[in-house]
Amino acid sequence: GENVEQHPSTLSVQEGDSAVIKCTYSDSASNYFPWYKQELGKGPQLIIDIRSNVGEKKDQRIAVTLNKTAKHFSLHITETQPEDSAVYFCAASESFQKLVFGTGTRLLVSP
């Protein structure tokens, strides 16, 4: 089955810096790669996703890149703000229903 590895487990940046979180996946059949943000005491919320027929997708300060050959994808957050502090999860799936999640990255943005 699919296995998703996520790094780093924690990431501390200064406000205004960029943050990058990386994930690798094992199943070449996976074709959908979402990123979720989880704030304390809440459920995960989708922030951006990418499908295997696209190499990069951007939405304001966040972007995701996908390298199918190397089986890795990354989340890029520019101009970080304190409200970006949260736990971020990557996931991979062959179908939209059965997501396999990474272990999460705790991002701390200091003012």
Partner 1 sequence: NAGVTQTPKFQVLKTGQSMTLQCAQDMNHEYMSWYRQDPGMGLRLIHYSVGAGITDQGEVPNGYNVSRSTTEDFPLRLLSAAPSQTSVYFCASRSDSIQYFGAGTRLSVL
Cα separation, 56 vs 48, whole angstroms: 11
Total residues in contact with partner 1, by rule CB under 8 A: 24
Cα separation, 62 vs 78, whole angstroms: 6
Q: Is 23 in the site for partner 1 (CB under 8 A)?
A: no
User: Which is closer to partner 1, CB of 31 or CB of 78?
Assistant: 31
Mention every residue, 6+ apart, whose C-beta is less than 8 A from residue 20. 74, 75, 76, 77
Amino acid at position 24, single letter: T
The one among 27, 101, 106, 108 contacting partner 1 by CB under 8 A: 101
The one among 32, 78, 94, 108 contacting partner 1 by CB under 8 A: 32
The one among 7, 10, 98, 110 contacting partner 1 by CB under 8 A: 98
Amino acid at position 73, single letter: F
Q: Which residues bind partner 1 (CB under 8 A)?
A: 1, 4, 6, 9, 32, 34, 36, 41-46, 49, 89, 96-104
